């Protein structure tokens, strides 16, 4: 992953050091967005394999595509591998979460199903006791992947760690969201005559789910789908 900048005035960089800090912060946010998008939607070709396209993903059909009911919650929860439930998190967009909040209020869902944000100081809402985290890279309500249940400890990422001091670059394996070092380089040569600097930010990684099929041997991907539960059966070593 790369982020390139427009040429920056060296006078500006000298006079306002915070400009480079803000530039670095913005580049890291762009890389974070791209990594999150790949972990959900990546095709696995020249990018990580996202969980929405992984063979270990179970795709479930709702009776009403534009509305999430307690039966749908139960269905997804029951399909999740039992050992993954304590690590699981739900993901949805702001609009999908707003729809869940509305229908949960209208139909008086018990707190065992849905616990609103800040009800007892909790920083995020809970479904089945597990947090619901907003992900803007997911589709809107009514489209496959609008509600995701995932155990990210079962997603492997291989990250290249840049050289530091006398140590050469290394490759490290992590699970879930990577703690990743972004390489930052700059050059003044291209715009030497105008006294300007280009910056480049780079992160090298690859990832995929650690399982190649889901529990139970049942395939749901031949049906029209809206929701998703992420469960696993067999460990697969990353090698592509």
Give residue-wise pLDDT tens across range 186-234: 998 888 888 899 999 998 888 898 888 876 543 333 222 344 333 333 2
Walk along the chain (240 residues) and give the pLDDT tens digit of each residue: 888 888 889 898 888 889 989 988 898 889 889 999 999 999 988 889 999 999 888 888 887 778 899 999 999 998 888 888 999 999 999 999 999 999 999 999 999 999 999 888 999 999 999 999 999 999 999 898 999 999 998 888 888 776 665 555 555 555 555 556 788 889 988 888 888 999 999 988 888 988 888 765 433 332 223 443 333 332 222 222
Work out whether the CA dihedral 9, 10, 12, 18 comes out positive or negative: positive
pTM to 2 decimal places: 0.80
* Cα distances (angstroms) measured from residue 7 to each of 19, 74, 153, 182, 190: 13, 53, 40, 20, 9
State the pairing for strand pair 2-4/196-202: antiparallel
Cα atoms in the 13 Å half-sphere on the side-chain side of 99: 15
173-186 pLDDT tens trace:
555 555 567 888 89
Pick from 206, 204, 210: nearest CA to 155: 210
């Amino acid at each position: 992953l790369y982020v390139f900048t427009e040429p920056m005035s060296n006078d500006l960089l000298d006079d306002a050091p915070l400009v480079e800090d803000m530039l670095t912060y913005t580049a890291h946010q762009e890389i974070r967005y791209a990594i999150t998008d790949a972990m959900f939607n990546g095709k696995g070709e020249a990018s990580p394999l996202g969980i929405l396209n992984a063979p270990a993903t179970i795709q479930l059909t709702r009776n009403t595509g534009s509305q999430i009911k307690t039966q749908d919650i139960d269905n997804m929860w029951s399909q999740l591998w039992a050992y993954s439930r304590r690590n699981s998190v739900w993901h949805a967009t702001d609009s999908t979460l707003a729809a869940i909040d509305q229908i949960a209020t209208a139909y008086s869902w018990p707190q065992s199903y849905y616990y609103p944000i800040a009800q007892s100081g909790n920083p995020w809402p809970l479904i089945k006791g597990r947090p619901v985290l907003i992900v803007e890279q997911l589709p809107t309500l009514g489209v496959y992947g609008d509600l995701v249940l995932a155990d990210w400890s079962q997603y492997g990422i291989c990250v290249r760690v840049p050289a530091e001091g006398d140590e050469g670059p290394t490759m490290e394996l992590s699970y879930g969201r990577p703690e990743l070092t972004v390489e930052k380089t700059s050059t003044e040569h291209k715009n030497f005559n105008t006294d300007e600097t280009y910056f480049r930010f780079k992160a090298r990684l690859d990832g995929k789910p650690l399982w190649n099929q889901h529990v139970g041997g049942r395939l749901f991907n031949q049906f029209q789908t809206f929701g998703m539960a992420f469960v696993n059966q067999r460990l697969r070593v990353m090698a592509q």
